Chain A
């Protein structure tokens, strides 16, 4: 365990998360949409839900879900076209509210941010009171609700904000932190995805407590450089600072196979899964990109990457996949089996930029 920070004073971190941000804005601006299940997104064949109102979530509608699936789950679902311009303007307003309280703001997306208020508590006596003041400001000035998580690091603050959603607040104190993490199933830890979860389950690690007990060397053997992070968060420890001004440059994912893959045909379905995963995360971060990079590592650990850039932003998951597919095809037949495959989307821009500076096409040719 890393004790080098033990002497540091306790931090006070907030995670502020707007409740169903896009959908709530649409319901706020159009009274006829209130109390109805709505989805922000396009209803077309290949449209995707960008956000769902709480009424729609009751039917199982989730963001990043294909519009068709959402419509099937909830036949009364109303689709509202996104207005990123508006979302961004409101997001900027909320950001200005944050700046009244602390300069240490790390936005994660248009609708959520971490705030470090350790040195900016006054005149409040607690981080909780400060968080309530922020939530009140947001509601008074935008008529929108936010949920807040209050704790002593980012990891726990984010977990806390989910506890009393919507329009709620939850505190995880330093005394509760380790217990909270210990009781949590590993799949609920941020940073532990489905693949890692499966691996942990195979090692009989099911909860934070299991993870915390597992010897660090053993974790290293299975999870490499991520082992220390896992070990720490299992004990409720997270030293990552709140970092303002860190816009995302790229979104990517990669996977190492349990059995090496010899041919393109075997790799293609995995490539599809990877591109879908990255696409979903691009929707979540409200960015679109124009550069696709495919990475492969051969059994001898030789690693190559190939990239392809478009003159405009990609607007469809299928385009992203087709381009990745083209790159991977050009690398086949593989001279040696491959042990790792990855795909990255970069050249990112917030979606409203991509929207407003859209290069038009000859519709007759598409």
Chain B
């Protein structure tokens, strides 16, 4: 096998590959990237048996072939090569090491046999639809922070994508929750998605897919079954297993009768939360909010460091309900305010019940947050 490829697309592809390849090093071949050159295209494949990513890029050379080398090492090498260089790959026969050359640089990498590289079977994927990259990016960004990483509740370790109805109108909805907070966002239902099953996309897949969505207005082709999902982004195909579990009846945690409404400038609130919480040494960093008419007071207490307080007045706060004292973890608050543009609307019930939070300019998204006892 012998071929050349441009460094820039190669580096981009290897960054994606590197994210997917297994890093825990339990089964050595899973840490490898499969390179296969057919004369004009280089195909790179990585899998950890949960996710498989295939990316294609142009290559040149009249000796086709395939081999596998450690993905992390090859990524590191290509990353350090100078810009604009052409990279040459050569392997004498299928057991020989892979020679990588660029300018005066040369390395020889040990290979593992192509036959040992596992293939991930996608199976039949009966549902297909297309989403603009911007929409998928939005669905992911507004919900991913609320995914759980507790292995005890694996069915919360992902984003739940499903068809939901508001009245008679169907939406494509993304929901994530870790049992303490919940994020939900709706998008227009794309053609072909109406009959799709509800699916839980695992955390790692969410992270890797998100990396493919930075380009604007690319169409993402999504195909899925009840157990697999596939994303096609230009020359990249990412196939993933889905979380095998049932997402809980999340609608029961969304309160409908919270009538103590507070509107606050997102920027002022986030800055105040950050400053007040800075005193706290604990990881949970509880911040107490005290709402009175058109006034919000934020405070935090640390047994060792002292007390911090900040007042927001009618210039940034609107509140006309009965006075309220409620505590939240600072990070949980800022995770949500980070999703909000200009003004946040809180709807409280009491200091031990779920609080509803919305972006007044983005009605399609909704957040629910449980307080902390302070």
Q: Tell me whether B253 and A362 are in contact (CB under 8 A).
A: yes
Within 8 Å of chain A (Cβ to Cβ): is B286?
yes
Q: Are A360 and B182 in contact, with the CB atoms below 8 A?
A: no
Question: B251's closest neighbor in chain A, by CB?
Answer: A364
* A310, A331, A364: the one within 8 Å of B150 (CB): A310
Inter-chain contact B150/A359, CB cutoff 8 Å: no
Answer yes or no: A365 CB below 8 A from chain B CBs. yes
Is B354 among interface residues, defined by CB-CB distance under 8 A?
yes
Option from B150, B248, B370 in Cβ contact (under 8 Å) with A360: B370
**Bound complex: CA A366 to CA B331 (Å):** 22
What residue in chain A is nearest B178 (Cβ atoms)? A311
A310, A322, A349, A360: the one within 8 Å of B352 (CB): A360
Residue A332 CB within 8 A of the other chain: yes
Contact with A along B240-273 (1 / 0, CB 8 A): 0000000011101100000000000000000000
Given contacts A311-B329, A357-B282, A362-B182, 15 further A-B contacts (CB under 8 A): A333-B26, A357-B284, A358-B372, A359-B370, A360-B370, A360-B373, A362-B177, A362-B179, A362-B180, A362-B253, A362-B368, A362-B370, A364-B248, A364-B252, A365-B156
Complex CA gap A356/B303 in Å reads 13
For residues 19 through 76 of chain B, which have their beta carbon under 8 Å from a beta carbon of chain A?
Answer: 24, 26
- Residue of A326, A332, A361 with most chain B CB atoms under a 10 A cut-off: A361
Would you call B372 and A360 a contact (CB within 8 A)? Answer: yes
Q: Name the B residues within 8 Å of A89 (CB-CB).
A: none
Instruction: For the complex formed, measure the closest distance between the CB of B118 and the CB atoms of chain A, giving whole angstroms.
Output: 15
Is the C-beta of A290 less than 8 angstroms from some C-beta in chain B?
Answer: yes
Q: Closest residue to A329 on the B side, CB-wise?
A: B151
Tell which of A326, A330, A333, A364 touches B253, judged by Cβ atoms closer than 8 Å. A364
Query: Does any Cβ of B come within 8 Å of A225's Cβ?
Result: no
- List A residues 333-366 near B (Cβ within 8 Å): 333, 335, 347, 349, 356-362, 364-366
Task: Find chain B residues with CB under 8 A from A323 CB.
Answer: 150-152
Q: Does A284 contact B (CB under 8 A)?
A: no
Tell me if B278 counts as interface (CB < 8 A to partner A). no
B 109-123 to A, binary, CB cutoff 8 A, 1 in contact else 0:
000000000000000
On whether the beta carbons of A361 and B373 are closer than 8 Å, the reply is no
* Chain B binding surface SS class: loop
Does B202 touch A at the CB level, under 8 Å?
no
A312 to B354, CA, bound (A): 17
Q: Scoring A residues 285 to 317 as 1 if CB is less than 8 Å from chain B, else 0, what string do you get?
A: 000001000000000000000000111100000
Number of residues of chain B lying within 8 A (CB) of chain A: 30
Task: Specify which chain A residues have a CB less than 8 angstroms from the CB of B152 in the assembled complex.
Answer: 319, 322-323, 326
A interface: dominant SS: loop
Contact of A311 among B180, B253, B368, B373 (CB under 8 A): B180
* Cβ–Cβ < 8 Å partners of A332 in chain B: 26
Residues of A within 8 A of B (CB): 290, 309-312, 319, 322-323, 326, 330-333, 335, 347, 349, 356-362, 364-366
Question: Taking the complex as formed, is B80 at the interface, i.e. its CB lies under 8 A from any CB of chain A?
Answer: no
Q: Mark B354-374, 1 if CB is under 8 A from A, else 0.
A: 100000000000001011111
Can you report 18 A-B residue pairs in the complex whose CB atoms are below 8 A from each other?
A310-B150, A311-B178, A311-B284, A322-B151, A323-B151, A326-B151, A326-B152, A330-B24, A349-B282, A357-B286, A357-B372, A359-B372, A360-B352, A361-B179, A361-B370, A362-B182, A365-B179, A365-B250
Residue of B nearest to A306 (CB): B24
> How many angstroms from the CA of A323 to the CA of B150 in the assembled complex?
8
Q: Residue of B at shortest CB range from A362?
A: B253
A26 to chain B, nearest CB (A): 22
- B168 CB within 8 Å of chain A: no
Tell me, rounded to whole Å, the shortest Cβ–Cβ distance linking A157 to chain B.
30
**Looking at A312, A323, A356, which has the most chain B CB atoms within 10 Å of its CB?**
A312
Smallest Cβ-Cβ distance to A366: which chain B residue: B179
Closest residue of chain A to B327, judged by CB? A357
Q: Quick check: is B283 within 8 A (CB to CB) of the other chain?
A: yes
Nearest-Cβ distance from residue A91 to partner chain B, whole angstroms: 15
